[in-house]
Amino acid sequence: MVPITEYPSQIRRDILRMVHKPQSGHPGGSMGCTEFFTALYFDVMRHNPAAFRMDGHGEDLFFLSNGHISPVFYSTLARSGYFPVAELSTFRLINSRLQGHPTTHDGLPGVRIASGSLGQGLSVAVGAAQAKKLHGDPHLVFTLHGDGELQEGQIWEAALYAGGKKVDNLIATVDANGQQIDGSTDEVLPMGDLGAKFAAFGWDVLHLEQGNDLHAVQAALRQAITRTGKGKPVALIMKTAMGHGVDFMAGTHKWHGIAPNDDELARALAQCPETLGDY
Amino acid sequence: MHPYTNQGSQDTRSGFGAGLLELGRCNPKVVALCADLTGSLKMDAFAKEFPERFFQTGIAEAHMMSMAAGLTIGGWIPFTGTFANFSTGRVYDQIRQSIAYSDKNVKICASHAGLTLGEDGATHQILEDIGLMKMLPGMTVIVTADYNQTKAATIALADHHGPVYLRFGRPKVANFTPADKPFVIGKADVLLEGSDVTIAATGHLVWEALEAANTLAAQGISAEVINFATIKPFDTEALLKSVHKTGRVVTAEEHQRHGGLGDLVAQTLGMHRPAPIEMVAVNDSFGESGTPAQLMDKYGLNAAAIVEATLRVRNR
């Protein structure tokens, strides 16, 4: 059994190397959400990587709504056993199952919906959550959203529905890193009080200030699970630093969607020790 | 004279409602979603009899489409219902990413398509939806002609795996399809055999094509009338077989000339068997308020227009 603390550094190495090879991809948000993915897939979520089934009966489901952070998603799926780790080397290359944004189109195990065009994942998750209720399946549905993504109107259609119809087997996490492509969210479009917004839509809202502290994320997700089944969907507003784990990449929107060059990759990898073996 | 009789005019949306209710009773996997148009879509009987399988989303069509995609992941077969405009143009990206690209088994059921929506005017009279939907890879597109065909098509959708766009409408139109005729996806129906011209029609224009064939017969012109209820996958064989006989085609649809059945027929002929073609369709314009009959007359979408188009194509 690999100690859970071994994963974040290795996943960050995967992310950096995945985007370096094609010189394309989104490392910043991926590195900011590494602890979240680690906590979810290696601790909190009850799932079955060895026998992926699209319908996901009898297991928890996860939907990535901000599909551009596919590097962290793919690394986590591979390290969980959904597909061979070696396949990470094909990210964004021709004929790969690891498309720039996640898709079901090429049969990659672990992916249940295409995402990339923002704002759709919460609605998809609501549908999956309602499907579980209809089946009498007590398992949960998790989602992840960028804070900038919440500027999409469809998010609030889904939030209104989930609150109004008491979809209480759903935990939506917001990666509140305060950054988006054109700058900080405050510069682009101030988001105001996200927690108050979800609460006003009928959600049970939890806050996590230390979204890059693995044990804090594990505790926050466990707490979120205890709040399900009580008539409200659960929102976790999780503060992270975009690019966390590499000093020159952290806390800036600059690394939202660009890849490190050879020198930057070497300097970044030096800060993320190899723990589980590179692909 | 064509052998079909109107068994009593009915709206095609009621055929959808009846089909959905029957599906609810015979297929426990069928669920339905509606964005605040339950009565207009005739989904109320299903909603009343199967409240646990009916999802009222409120006026939130984008959410409804993605939510339907999520429901399929649990193995349900979702049928969404709203007006055609809100089933396509308003939610194109949701359909493209969450449903079509994700290969989800969602049935997008769209009423009030085209000019025959009537008095509400151009904001609601979508005439571009067939084009929008047939461009999406993997999307099946069906446009039904009458009540019985719409009911049969609705029932057939549940046994077909994959995303489907089913288009129907608001007005009462002639109901001539036999009630017991099953709907076969991808198969065109030769309703009337003829030798001088092929009339390829879809939706509300199919009955008009049959009426046009009667007028033409009185003038000594033998028209073959084909109901292309499935736009995609297109029944190329049925078209070519007919055109080998007639050598010329008139298409008829309640849709823009660009992107509709006419486009598809022209492309198919161009690739396989070039032949003169005339298109009865809306010519690059929006609709307006009016009664359905007034609008179909003003925009040239009726039996008289099909007759005129036939006479034109005969002279080419």
Within an 8 Å CB–CB cutoff, is residue B138 touching chain A? Answer: no
Q: What is the mean pLDDT of residues A79-90?
A: 98
Query: Is the per-residue pLDDT at B285 higher than 90?
Result: yes
Query: Is the per-residue pLDDT at B61 higher than 90?
Result: yes
Residue B6: CB atoms within 10 A of its CB come to 13
Within an 8 Å CB–CB cutoff, is residue A113 touching chain B? Answer: yes
Query: Is the per-residue pLDDT at A238 higher than 90?
Result: yes
Which of B171, B217, B161, B220 lies closest to B10 in space, CA to CA? B171
- Give the per-residue pLDDT at B269: 98
Q: Please answer yes or no on whether B70 and A123 come within 8 Å at the CB atom.
A: yes
Interface probe for B, chosen from A52, A63, A103, A113 (most Cβ of B below 10 Å), is A113
If pLDDT is split at 50, 70 and 90, which confidence band does B1 have? confident
Q: What is the mean pLDDT of residues A141-168?
A: 98
Residue found under tokens 């027929």: B265
Helices B236-246, B261-272: inter-axial angle, 10-degree rounding: 70
Quote ipTM for the complex: 0.96
Tell me the three state secondary structure of residue B131. Answer: helix
Helix, strand, coil percent content, chain B, rounded in steps of 5: 40, 20, 40
Q: What does the radius of gyration of chain B's CA atoms come to, in whole angstroms?
A: 19
Tell me the three state secondary structure of residue A226. Answer: helix
Residue found under tokens 């089933």: B87
Count A/B contacts: CB-CB distance under 8 Å: 119
What domains are defined for chain A?
A: 4-269 (3.40.50.970)
Interface probe for A, chosen from B73, B103, B105, B161 (most Cβ of A below 10 Å), is B73
Q: Which residues, numbered 45 to 64 in chain B, qualify as contacts with chain A under a Cβ-Cβ cut-off of 8 Å?
A: 52-53, 55, 57-58, 60, 62-64
Within an 8 Å CB–CB cutoff, is residue A104 touching chain B? Answer: yes
Chain segment B130-187, per-residue pLDDT in tens: 999 999 999 999 999 999 999 999 999 999 999 999 999 999 999 999 999 999 999 9
Sheet bearing A204-208, strands edge to edge: A61-64, A141-146, A170-176, A234-239, A204-208
Domain ranges of chain B: 10-173, 189-310
**Pair B127, B299: CB distance under 8 Å:** no
Which of A69, A65, A63 lies closest to A18 in space, CA to CA? A69
Nearest-Cα distance to chain A for B32, in Å, is: 12
Residue found under tokens 């609705």: B154
Distant-in-sequence, close-in-space partners of B123: CB < 8 Å, separation ≥ 6: B85
Within an 8 Å CB–CB cutoff, is residue B69 touching chain A? Answer: yes
Nearest-Cα distance to chain B for A100, in Å, is: 14
Cα distance between residue A174 and residue B147, in whole Å = 47
Within an 8 Å CB–CB cutoff, is residue A55 touching chain B? Answer: yes
Beta strand pairing call for B30-34 and B54-56: parallel
End-to-end CA distance of chain B: 25
Domains B10-173 and B189-310 share a fold: yes
Chain segment B203-251, per-residue pLDDT in tens: 999 999 999 999 999 999 999 999 999 999 999 999 999 999 999 999 9
Cα distance between residue B238 and residue B244, in whole Å = 10
Mean pLDDT, chain B, as a whole number?
A: 98
Q: Please answer yes or no on whether B58 and A161 come within 8 Å at the CB atom.
A: yes
**Catalytic residue from among B22, B52, B61, B211:** B61
Instruction: For B4, list phi and psi in degrees, rounded to 5.
Output: -95, 140
Which helix (H) or strand (E) segment holds residue B269: the answer is helix B261-272
Q: What is the mean pLDDT of residues B273-280?
A: 98
Cα distance between residue A148 and residue B187, in whole Å = 47
Cα distance between residue A176 and residue A129, in whole Å = 24
Query: Is the per-residue pLDDT at A251 higher than 90?
Result: no
Interface probe for A, chosen from B36, B90, B95, B97 (most Cβ of A below 10 Å), is B97
- Which positions in chain B touch A130 (Cβ < 8 Å)? 55, 67, 70-71
Query: Is the per-residue pLDDT at A1 higher than 90?
Result: no
- Which positions in chain A touch B93 (Cβ < 8 Å)? 117, 120
Buried b (16+ CB within 10 A) or exposed e, B119-151: eeeeebbbbbbbbbbbebeebbbbbbbbbbbbb
Tell me the three state secondary structure of residue A180. Answer: strand
**Pair B20, B32: CB distance under 8 Å:** yes
Cα distance between residue A233 and residue A231, in whole Å = 7
Cα distance between residue A229 and residue B306, in whole Å = 60
**How is residue B38 annotated by DSSP?**
T
Alpha-carbon separation of residue A232 from A146, A171, B53 (angstroms): 21, 10, 20
Phi-psi region of A118 (alpha: psi -120 to 50; beta: other; left: phi over 0): beta
Interface probe for A, chosen from B53, B64, B66, B136 (most Cβ of A below 10 Å), is B66
Q: Which amino acid is at B280?
A: V
- Which positions in chain A touch B98 (Cβ < 8 Å)? 113-114, 120, 123-124
- Give the per-residue pLDDT at B130: 98
If pLDDT is split at 50, 70 and 90, which confidence band does B302 have? very high
- Give the per-residue pLDDT at B294: 97
Chain segment A114-126, per-residue pLDDT in tens: 999 999 999 999 9
Chain segment B13-58, per-residue pLDDT in tens: 999 999 999 999 999 999 999 999 999 999 999 999 999 999 999 9
Q: Please answer yes or no on whether B73 and A117 come within 8 Å at the CB atom.
A: no
Report the top-level CATH class of B10-173: alpha beta
Q: What is the mean pLDDT of residues A14-28?
A: 97
The β-bridge partners of A277 are: none
**Pair B203, B166: CB distance under 8 Å:** no
Q: What does the radius of gyration of chain A's CA atoms come to, in whole angstroms?
A: 17
If pLDDT is split at 50, 70 and 90, which confidence band does A8 have? very high
Q: What is the mean pLDDT of residues B89-108?
A: 98
Alpha-carbon separation of residue A221 from A199, A238, B232, B233 (angstroms): 18, 10, 46, 47
Q: What is the mean pLDDT of residues A141-164?
A: 98
Within an 8 Å CB–CB cutoff, is residue B161 touching chain A? Answer: no
CATH number of B189-310: 3.40.50.920
The β-bridge partners of B245 are: none
Nearest CA in chain A to B62: A154
Query: Is the per-residue pLDDT at A252 higher than 90?
Result: no
**Pair B133, B81: CB distance under 8 Å:** no
Cα distance between residue B203 and residue A106, in whole Å = 35
Catalytic: B308?
A: no
Within an 8 Å CB–CB cutoff, is residue A102 touching chain B? Answer: no
Outline where DSSP puts E strands in chain B: 10-11, 30-34, 54-56, 77-83, 107-111, 140-143, 164-167, 172-173, 189-192, 197-201, 223-227, 230-232, 249-256, 277-282
